[in-house]
Amino acid sequence: MEETGREAVATAVQRVAGMLQRPDQLDKVEQYRRREARKKASVEARLKAAIQSQLDGVRTGLSQLHNALSDVKDIQRSLVDVNKDWRQSINTIENLKGVKDAVVQHSQLAAAVENLKSIFSVPEIVRETQDLIERGELLKAHRNLRDLECSRDDLMYEQYRMDSKNTHDMNLIHIYFGEIQKLSEELAKQLWMVIERSLLTVRRDPTLLVSVVRIIEREEKIDRRMLDRKKQTGFIPPGRPKKWKENMFDILERTVSTRIEGTQADTRESDKMWLVCHLEIIRKYVLDDLQVAKNLMEERFPPHYDIFKKLLNMYHQALSMRMQELASEDLEANEIVTLLTWVLSTYKSEEMMGNLELAPEVDVNCLTPLISQPAVDQLLSKYMSTLTSNIIGWLRKALETDRKDWIKETEPEADQDGYYQTTLPAIVFQMFEQNLQVAAQISEDLKMKVLLLCLQQMNSFLTRYREEAQFYKEEHLKNRQYPQCYVQYMIAVINNCQTFKDSIISLKRKYLKNEMEGGMPSSHANMDMILDVTAKEGCSSLLDEVFMDLEPHLNELMTKKWLMGSNAVGTICVTVEDYFNDFARIKKPYKKIMTLEAHRRVVVEYIRAIMLKRISFKNAEERKEGAEKMIKEAEQFRFLFKKLAAGSGEDTEGLCDIIVAIAEVIKLTDPSLLFLEVSTLVSKYPDIRDDHISALLTVRGDASRDMKQTIIETLEQGANQPNPNYVPIFKEITVPTLSVPKLLK
């Protein structure tokens, strides 16, 4: 209290100090004093009112406690009186036990009297009910059965109430009504027969199905009532609860399973399409059954049965079990595809569960998978393994068949543009296309795996294709007369390479997503390289064929016979042009390469003939004659290959310029300018070597050994930097050296 007083004084001092901060506020001291006095009076009044209110509440509470104490004493006295009265009435209750037994016996006798007529007529009613069941009048039969069961149950219940331990009387009742249980079982059999054929019955005789459902629903109500009574009394009649509703759904489930299993074909061993037929029958049956269930059965069952949803789940579970059984069998590759396509695609499509007639009750997105993902993965793995071996076998067989065609005596077929070809590319890519279309129906991931597999196997196949083409060439070289159409089939092999390239690009464009292009292995580039090498080797093989026929004429070049007027170059041009009439059947990219290569090889062979030093001109007249002939023949070559390369846009004249440049060196009349002319030649063609220069000067015939040495040494000292765009040609030409036998000769 002292501390609180000090805090109050301090607060008051602070407030007064705040009021009297300025001198002019002293005039208001009296005004402040009156205001604080009013506040003090107000607080004291509220405090007095609060204390008075608390005192009134305490007074009221004490009064109520006093009254409660008085009431408790009165109740205590009343309980003592009740206890006395209860003890006095115990003997009276024991004396009334006989009355109680009489009441129970009276109740039993009353029930017996009430059911007396029914009791005596039980055999007759049993026979009548049996007849009704046999005639199919199930509602009437169930009504009689229910009356019999009510009579039996009432008697048993009264006996149970009177003496639950009296099993003799209970057995007596049970024996007397023993036929009732047999009637119930017989009626149940009839009900289950209708339920098993419910999808057929609902279309032919829906009234019968409705009667069966009503009977089951009534039995369900009786079951519930009997179970409730058991909780209260402990008594339940024999055969209860019947659980006919539960049995009904069990029978429907067995019926659905039997229907799915019954679609299996008996011709599995002999019919390769057994699985397709089996799945198609399942699809048709399930779709028809669910449409009937949705459109007809829902109206015949109580709404709380939710019959369509339950049937849908039954069919889904039965299908899942059947599909898992099929997945566990030893299926072939085409059967795996058929199964997965049906499970992953057909099942949820409009042809089945996605059918518009089943919407919106059936949501395909909510259906669980028929086959687990591990099982699907296992099937896909097995399919990929089998497909790999099949593709390898198919490719090997296709190549063997194509290889047999190469030795035919008839020309290969030509496409619409006249280019020779074989059926190999079409067969290979038709096979790839079929497998990719099948994989695309299953999943995008499988499609990508099959595409990668096809490209990988194509890579290996093209390597074997190249090896077969090389072997074909080698066999032909052993006997150039065999096979008869070697040139035409080698052209077809070359054209097939271009067809393969185009088909690979088309296949990837069709089945490969744009975003996946970057993730593809380098197999495409590798395949392009193999195809280009194969085609170029084929072109080279054909050119070898040409130059084998040209060899006698090439050997005439730069000889005395040639100088005397041989028409070897004319024959070469005619022969080349004749071959290129056949080579016109080669597709454009490789025909262009072949034309350039033929031009290059002709020029190389011509220059090689010069470097072989078959002739050495004796005088200026011969040099002039020979040089002019070389220039003329270079022009012949230029005209020929310009004609052959028409439309290709390639400049092929530069190669013939080499022959002209060499001719200018030979034609030179002033030996003092020979160094200048040779240096010009070397500057244009930097890959020319000293042995080439030496051979050229030897053919010219007027250069001494010292002059040759001087020119060569001088040119070596001032060697020029090669032009980066220059394609070397002299490095392919070797100059023969004098061997010991030749020197001795």
Spell out the alpha helix ranges (H) of 293-372: 298-300, 307-327, 333-344
What's the CATH number where 723 sits? 1.10.357.70
- Does 86 map to a domain? no
- Distance from chain centroid for Cα 683: 64
The span from the CA of 118 to the CA of 108, in Å, is 15
Residues 484 and 621 both lie in one domain: no
Residues 361 and 501 both lie in one domain: no
pLDDT at site 575: 94
pLDDT at site 718: 55
Tokens of 611: 């470097």
- Does 151 map to a domain? yes
Residues 582 and 682 both lie in one domain: yes
Residues 493 and 562 both lie in one domain: no
Residues 33 and 125 both lie in one domain: no
- Does 89 map to a domain? no
pLDDT < 50 positions in the chain: 515-519, 649, 739-740, 742-743, 745
| Structural domain of 21 | 2-78
Residues 704 and 574 both lie in one domain: yes
Residue that is last in its domain, among 348, 371, 394? 371
Q: Which of 655, 657, 661, 561 is nearest to 614 (CA)?
A: 561
- Does 85 map to a domain? no
Q: What is the DSSP letter of 297?
A: I
Instruction: Tally Cβ neighbours within 10 Å of residue 525.
Output: 10
Residues 454 and 569 both lie in one domain: no
Residue that is last in its domain, among 329, 344, 371? 371
The span from the CA of 109 to the CA of 101, in Å, is 12
What's the CATH number where 520 sits? 1.10.357.50
Residues 151 and 213 both lie in one domain: yes
pLDDT at site 519: 47
Residues 355 and 481 both lie in one domain: no
- Does 141 map to a domain? yes
Residues 215 and 138 both lie in one domain: yes
Residue that is last in its domain, among 328, 356, 371? 371
Residues 204 and 325 both lie in one domain: no
pLDDT digits (tens, 9 = 90+) for 73-119: 999 989 988 888 887 777 776 677 777 777 767 776 776 666 665 56
Side chain identity at 286, as an amino acid letter?
Answer: V
Residues 194 and 118 both lie in one domain: yes
- Does 91 map to a domain? no
- Does 110 map to a domain? yes
Q: How many domains does the chain have?
A: 5
- Does 506 map to a domain? yes
**Block residue for tokens 């390769």:** 272
Entry pTM? 0.66
362: left (phi over 0), alpha (psi -120 to 50) or beta: beta
Q: Are 697 and 679 in contact (CB under 8 A)?
A: no
Tokens of 361: 């009750």
